[in-house]
Structures are given as C-alpha cells and as structure tokens.
Amino acid sequence: MKVLNVHGGTGNSKVIIGETLGNLSKYLPEANPIIITDKNVWQLYKNDFPDTEIIKIGTGEKIKNLDTVKSIYQRLVEIGADRSSYIVGIGGGIVCDIAGFIASTYMRGIRFGFVSSTLLSQVDASTGGKNGVNFHGYKNMIGVFNQPEFVICDQNLLGTLPKDEISCGFAEIVKHAVIKDKEMFEYLEENYKSALQLEAQVIESLIYKSVLIKTEIVNKDETERGERRKLNFGHTFGHAIEKTSKLPHGKSISIGMVLASRLSEKKGFLAEMDVSRIRSLLDNLNLPTCLKVDKGKILKAIMADKKKEGDHIYFVLIKGIGKAFVDTILTSDIEYIYKDLN
Ligand SMILES: NC(=O)c1ccc[n+]([C@@H]2O[C@H](COP(=O)([O-])OP(=O)(O)OC[C@H]3O[C@@H](n4cnc5c(N)ncnc54)[C@H](O)[C@@H]3O)[C@@H](O)[C@H]2O)c1
Ligand SMILES: [Zn+2]
C-alpha cells in the first residue's frame, strides 16, 4: 500500500493506492456516513459496501448535471443529513465529481472521501480536488475546488471494467507520462500488453506514477493558475471532440493529444518521430488517434471553451516527451493551424 498526499487550500487529502473497498469503514466516522454511488457499481460491489445509507444515481455524462445534484440534495434533506454527516463517493469520475460537489455545497460543506472504481478516476479524476457538473452542454462548468479527505484506489475493482473503460484510463496515464515523465512513457511502450491485461505489478506502478505526477502538480498549483494547466494536455481539442462527437472522455483526449502533439510539431517544438511514438502508444492501448469530424463544429466548441480568455487560449504544447509547457495561442492561430491538420 502506498500513500500520496495532496496539500490543498481547503485541507489535505490522502490518496491510498492498494487499499481495498472492504476496508472503507476504517476511514469513516462511526456516525452518519452516506454513500453516493451509481447503479452499476452498486450492483457489482454492494456486498462490500458498509451497511449505511446509500444514494444511487444513473450512469453516463448526461446525468452529470444540476438535476442529479438537486435530486441528491432532496434525498439528503429527506434522510436528515446534517453537518455531521459524511459523504463517500464510490465509483468512477462521474460519481466522484458529483459526490465531491454535493459534499462541498450541502449545508456549506460537509466532510467527504472517495473510493475510486475506474482506472480513469484512480489515475486522474478522483485526485486533485476538482468537483463539479456539466451545464448546458459545457463540461464541468459548475464546480468547486475542495479536497476529499481520502481517495482509496482499489485495483481489485478494475477487473470488472469493460475493456473500453480501461483504455480510456490509459489515455490519462499516457497524458501524465507525456507531460512529465519520459521514463514512464518508455515503460508504457515496453509494457503496454501487460498493462492492458491489468497485471498487478505493472498497473500498480502506473497508477502510483500517475497519481505522483498529478499530486506534485496540484501541490504547486491547486487552482490552475499556471503549472496545473499542463494537466490539460490534449484536453482543449479533447473536450471539443467529446462535445461534438459523443466519444467518451478518454478516447476524445487521445485524439486531442495527437492533435496537440502535431500542433507542437507544426510550431517547431517537437520532432515528427515523437509524434509517431505518441500515436503508436495510444494505438497499442486501443485508443483512437484520429476522427473524421466537422472541423467547423470542433473550432466552435474550442472557442466556447471556458479556458479561453479573451482572444487567446492557454494551450499545452510539448517540446519532447516528458516536457510540457503552456503557451498562449491566439484563437485565430488555432483556427489557422487546425484547419491545416487532418
Ligand atoms: N475532477 C477531475 O479532475 C476529473 C479529471 C478527469 C476526468 N474527470 C471526469 O471523470 C468523468 C469520467 O470518469 P470515468 O471514466 O470514471 O467514467 P464513469 O464514472 O462514467 O464510469 C464509467 C462506467 O464504468 C462503470 N463502472 C465504474 N466502476 C466500475 C467497476 N469497477 N466495474 C465495472 N464498471 C464500473 C460506471 O458505472 C460507468 O458506467 C468525466 O465526467 C470527466 O469529466 C474529472
Ligand atoms: Zn481528462
């Protein structure tokens, strides 16, 4: 078992890699824990849940909205949840993003923690203190920064994940390697087959390295004024693709990372060979690397991105594998360059 710490403005968070859902009670106060989970996770793992109040939600990005939040508030009121209650999100990124938002806002904030059940949420979504929901088609438009007290990353839960969900998690793992850790990238190139088969040692090492990179970045810049922007590598294009194509998050950012790498190459920062290596690794991990889409729609979505400030966008480029940097690019520049990419 390995523990990594996040030091946030609202409190500290422990990410515990190798802990199990069965031990959750050890981390909870005796009175009033309330679990928020989704119906799939509940169906698969209800026998390992502590015997306590459970709020089940649906699944899919479409339910990550204020209507779901409202129905959970209603339920909390009905069961008499108060400031001494404790919320635990057990699930993937959607459950954790919603549970964190609920806990941060209900009665001006109550204590909370997560058991992260997808690869994507173990390596990314559940660490870092971003909680929130989508609004009018815009991803994560409404939310707060607030750290969960703990995040349990239980690898045993990954065995029931559909193959596609596993690949989506690998997209964020590749992202971490590309922005910060060339050795990790090389490790992935060598071990992608065992990684895809969730071989215990390989997957634990990749989860640990990913969370390490994320916690180091968040500890420098929790609220994304500088360094944390690097975690958005592939996400400017990725979010626009997610919105217009309905591909899931991981697959969309896989394509986004290839586009961001090509943009880096076009601007003279990255060798063509490195673009090919990134593309091949994603390909080996069963992730898409290109998409036939309406470029106009993608550009429109990028221009509406909440990370746009005035006539420029903070864009994450790379000058070699493991070396990300943030550049400000004019929106007109993006339009010009992107039209030229295919
Ligand atoms: N807060 C952040 O910093 C951050 C970072 C990255 C992504 N995200 C968000 O995370 C979300 C995506 O998260 P996700 O990929 O975990 O999706 P998800 O929560 O939708 O889970 C994917 C699917 O897997 C099912 N599932 C969960 N655990 C399972 C298990 N152990 N076995 C079998 N099935 C299981 C779920 O029911 C769901 O159908 C997006 O909304 C994205 O915006 C947030
Ligand atoms: Zn992401």
Same domain for 128 and 265, yes or no, is no
Q: What is the pLDDT of residue 270?
A: 96
Q: 185 and 323 share a domain?
A: yes
Where does the pLDDT of residue 303 fall: very low under 50, low under 70, confident under 90, or very high at 90 and above? Answer: confident
Domain match, 38 and 149 both = yes
Instruction: Please give the pLDDT value at position 198.
Output: 97
Same domain for 184 and 127: no
pLDDT computed for residue 3 by the predictor: 97
Mean pLDDT of 273-285: 97
Together in a domain, 212 and 284: yes
| Among 119, 140, 160, residue at a domain's last position | 160
- Measured from the CB, is residue 146 less than 6 Å from ligand 1? no
- The number of the ligand nearest the C-alpha atom of 145 reads 1
Question: Looking at the 3D structure of the chain, how many domains does it have?
Answer: 2
Is the Cβ atom of 177 under 6 angstroms away from ligand 1?
no
Residue 306 has pLDDT above 80, yes or no: no
pLDDT score for 299: 80
Give the atom of ligand 1 at the shortest distance from the alpha carbon of 100: 1
Q: Are residues 195 and 131 in the same domain?
A: no
The contacts of residue 140 (CB under 8 Å, 6+ apart) are 97, 130, 132, 133, 134
Please, is 303 exposed, middle or buried when counting C-beta atoms within 10 Å of its C-beta (0-12, 13-18, 19+)?
middle
The Cα angle at residue 274 between residues 273 and 275, in degrees rounded to 5: 90
Q: Are residues 135 and 11 in the same domain?
A: yes
Let me know whether 115 and 190 are in one domain.
Answer: no
| Residues 132, 211 within the same domain | no
For residue 60, give the 3-state DSSP assignment. coil
- Domain end residue (candidates: 160, 185, 200): 160
C-alpha span between 90 and 110 (Å, rounded)? 17
In this predicted structure, the answer to whether residue 304 has a pLDDT above a threshold of 80 is no
Q: Which residue, by CA, sits nearest to atom 33 of ligand 1? A: 161
Q: State which of 113, 140, 160 marks the end of a domain.
A: 160
153 and 175 assigned to the same domain: no
Nearest alpha-carbon partner for 36 in 4, 68, 83: 68
**Could you tell me the CATH number of the domain that includes residue 78?**
3.40.50.1970
Model pLDDT, residue 124: 96
- Best residue among 117, 214, 229 to mutate for probing ligand 1's pocket (most ligand atoms within 8 Å of CB) is 117
Residue 231 pLDDT > 80: yes
Give me the CATH number covering residue 290: 1.20.1090.10
Distance, first Cα to last Cα, the chain: 45
Q: Same structural domain for residues 156 and 227? A: no
Average pLDDT of the residues in 28-44 = 94
- 213 lies in the same domain as 267: yes
CA 93 to centroid of ligand 1, rounded, Å: 4
Ligand 1 and 41: CB distance under 6 A: yes
From the CA atom positions of the chain, what is the Rg in Å? 19
Ligand of minimum distance to the alpha carbon of 237 = 2
Residue to substitute in 118, 144, 158, 228 for testing ligand 1 pocket (most ligand atoms within 8 angstroms of CB)? 118
Residue span of the structural domain in which 303 resides: 163-340
Q: How far does the centroid of ligand 1 lie from the alpha carbon of residue 151, in Å?
A: 14
